[in-house]
Amino acid sequence: MKAAELFDLSGHVAVVTGAASGLGLAIAQVIAANGGRVAMLDIDEGKLKQAAAAIDEAGGAVETFSVDIAEAGKVESVVDAYAERYGRLDCVFANAGVSGGPGYGKPEGELEAASMELWDACLRVNLDGAFRTIRVAAKHMKPRRQGSIVVTSSVAALHASALPSYGYHAAKAGIAQVVRVAALELGPHNVRVNAIAPGPFRTNIANGRMHTPEGAAAFADTVPLGRLAELDEIKGLALLLASPASTYMTGAIIPIDGGTQA
């Protein structure tokens, strides 16, 4: 089989949360570029429409939905309607996430100063919101006995660091374990569940710190490759997990981190 066939998503119906920018946008772009139809979900309606317009102009098939992933029932209703309209749901990326503030490397991130409000918000989005997304995806994939669910976890789920917040560590580690359990449950239904564990990508998630020289240097210093990742560098792994090229992969937490796990 040629590579073009292995990675062909023609006719596939996909959902990506947190798709207005960053990793979610890059994932939506690569799915659309390889033939998939993508529902782009995000809380930022303005950025979402702008991002989708660029994909549409490039020939991709996309639709947008303004959704707060932390609000119960919202992602479920959107995914239900979308899957029912097209009669299938092939791939869902539970990508939406927030940083939860700084880690203990900053005084305001230390245990006694850490904001419980930010802790709660981080868990609502990164853990609860991702769990809801996994659950509604499974509902539509199980009857068809096929599908791929991909969750954006983090290297913060795999090792501790002074840079991400306590809430971010907890939520990303929690959702990584949910991925493993869901993979066990859904494996007999031929539904795959995997997680991507990114290292420091040049995104907006750390309250813009990745775009400042000081912040970028702090994160880059933790990486053997000595730099932040660019958004396009998520696309190969995302396409692999969405496509027929990964039909025997499930329950994996896959680092894409410039070597930090080494």
Which of 54, 62, 27 lies closest to 151 in space, CA to CA?
27
Which of 68, 22, 17, 41 lies closest to 198 in space, CA to CA?
22
- From residue 65, alpha-carbon distances to 42, 125, 182 in Å are 7, 17, 26
- Please tell me whether residue 88 adopts helix, strand or coil conformation: coil
Active centre residues (catalytic): 168
Give the whole-angstrom CA distance, residue 37 versus residue 35: 7
Write the burial class of residue 35 (CB in 10 Å: 0-12 exposed, 13-18 middle, 19+ buried).
middle
DSSP state of 102: B
Instruction: Give CA 261 to chain center in angstroms.
Output: 19
- Residue 65 structure tokens: 């939905």
- From residue 184, alpha-carbon distances to 2, 181, 187, 214 in Å are 30, 5, 5, 42
Q: Are 126 and 64 in contact (CB under 8 A)?
A: no
